[in-house]
């Protein structure tokens, strides 16, 4: 794995305005925002898999979509191959970025056109991005996605296939254009447990053998251990801890990361210490001041509701945003 970043995301923001209406503008109402992503930074080297974990609604999927510019960022930089794609507007550059930065969605039943055969589905992005006969690229992509023998699948339609096979087709589509960066957004959460490992192995192979850099988004921490080199924990639109996967999963330092790990099911673990969080996730429209986790944090100190903690290094490759490590 190279240390040079394939993609370098800096202080990314995705805010949604809550009062855009005509009435709000003439009444001069103070603008309010839902800050789905608020200052997220990470870099991914070649062949690196970064897991992005957190509760539903923490902003992890919005982060993936915004990095790919499927949502327009509100602020920050997305440096890809030396260019800040957040400020690039020319269509040729964006088309090239869309080829090199792909996504696999959670729901394979919705991500494929039901009227397309498998061959048409996998071929479509190839014909958009490459001139000439697409056949060879289609076959290679399908073989890499484990759809073998390829000829058994080419003429079939989505309704004739299982969920696992559909997700492999969605994956074949994504890798058919030889991306350097892939966002995998909960790619196994809708699949039977028995076939998840096979799909997860694909991502690991793409990283190890093709050097693909992958942002793997999931609320399922057990799958992170299998595929990720590093793991980042998100809470209310921000990363609160990041580091090597085994360190974060085995020895989390941030109190929220500790609670998340303690709640994750682990096979055979009986007398694990539970960390009980108080209350529900706060409304993202009205994020608590200071550390946004303070109303639920079992370790909060007096500074926590006043001052937002800075992100600090607590090891060679590990950082945490918490006053306990100041």
Q: Write out the residues near ligand SF4 by the rule CB under 6 A.
A: 254-255, 291, 293-294, 297, 299-301, 304, 309, 322-324
Nearer to ligand SF4, 138 or 304 (CB): 304
Nearer to ligand SF4, 40 or 259 (CB): 259
| Helix intervals (H) in 28-145 | 60-67, 91-100, 108-111, 118-129, 135-144
Smallest gap from Cβ 255 to ligand SF4, in A, equals 4
* 276-288 burial: b if 16+ Cβ within 10 Å, else e: ebeeebbebeeee
Question: Which token pair is 77?
Answer: 């930089």
Smallest gap from Cβ 153 to ligand SF4, in A, equals 49
Smallest gap from Cβ 259 to ligand SF4, in A, equals 10
Nearer to ligand SF4, 226 or 294 (CB): 294
Q: What is the full DSSP assignment across 69-83?
A: TSS--SEEEEEETTE
Smallest gap from Cβ 307 to ligand SF4, in A, equals 8
Count CA within 13 A, CB hemisphere, residue 117.
11
Question: Which token pair is 208?
Answer: 């190890």
Q: From the CA atom positions of the chain, what is the Rg in Å?
A: 21
Nearer to ligand SF4, 266 or 301 (CB): 301
The residues that bridge with 55 in the sheet, in sequence order, are none
Smallest gap from Cβ 235 to ligand SF4, in A, equals 9
Nearer to ligand SF4, 168 or 323 (CB): 323
Question: Which token pair is 138?
Answer: 């289609």
Nearer to ligand SF4, 81 or 247 (CB): 247
Task: State whether residue 177 is helix, strand or coil.
Answer: coil
Smallest gap from Cβ 152 to ligand SF4, in A, equals 52
**CA neighbor of 234 nearest in space, from 247, 219, 245, 213:** 219
Nearer to ligand SF4, 150 or 322 (CB): 322
CA-to-CA distance for 65 and 281, rounded, in angstroms?
22
**CA neighbor of 215 nearest in space, from 250, 191, 239, 197:** 239
Smallest gap from Cβ 108 to ligand SF4, in A, equals 37
**CA neighbor of 233 nearest in space, from 99, 51, 67, 44:** 51
Task: State whether residue 34 is helix, strand or coil.
Answer: strand
């Amino acid at each position: 794995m190279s240390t040079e970043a394939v993609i370098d995301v800096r202080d990314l923001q995705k805010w949604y305005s809550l009062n855009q209406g005509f009435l709000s503008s003439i009444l001069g109402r103070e603008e309010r925002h839902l800050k789905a992503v608020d200052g997220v930074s990470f870099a991914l080297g070649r062949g690196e898999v970064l897991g992005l974990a957190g509760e539903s609604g923490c902003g992890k999927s919005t982060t993936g979509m915004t990095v790919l510019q499927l949502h327009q960022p509100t602020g920050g930089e997305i440096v890809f191959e030396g260019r800040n794609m957040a400020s690039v507007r020319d269509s040729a550059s964006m088309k090239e970025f869309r080829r090199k930065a792909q996504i696999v969605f959670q729901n394979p039943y919705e991500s494929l056109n039901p009227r397309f055969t498998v061959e048409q589905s996998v071929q479509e992005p190839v014909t958009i991005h490459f001139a000439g006969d697409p056949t060879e690229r289609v076959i290679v992509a399908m073989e890499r996605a484990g759809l073998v023998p390829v000829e058994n699948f080419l003429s079939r339609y989505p309704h004739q296939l299982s969920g696992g096979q559909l997700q492999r087709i969605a994956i074949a589509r994504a890798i058919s254009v030889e991306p350097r960066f892939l966002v995998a957004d909960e790619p196994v959460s809708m699949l039977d447990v028995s076939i998840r490992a096979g799909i997860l192995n694909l991502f690991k192979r793409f990283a190890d053998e093709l050097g693909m850099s992958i942002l793997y988004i999931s609320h399922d921490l057990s799958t992170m251990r299998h595929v990720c080199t590093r793991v980042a924990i998100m809470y209310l639109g921000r990363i609160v801890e990041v580091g090597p996967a085994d360190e974060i999963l085995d020895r989390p330092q941030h109190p929220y990361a500790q609670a998340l790990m303690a709640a994750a099911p682990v096979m055979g673990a009986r007398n694990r210490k539970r960390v009980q969080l108080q209350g529900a996730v706060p409304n993202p429209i009205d994020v608590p001041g200071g550390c946004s986790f303070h109303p639920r944090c079992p370790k909060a100190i007096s500074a926590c509701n006043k001052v937002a903690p800075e992100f600090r290094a607590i090891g060679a490759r590990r950082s945490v945003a918490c006053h306990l490590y100041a």
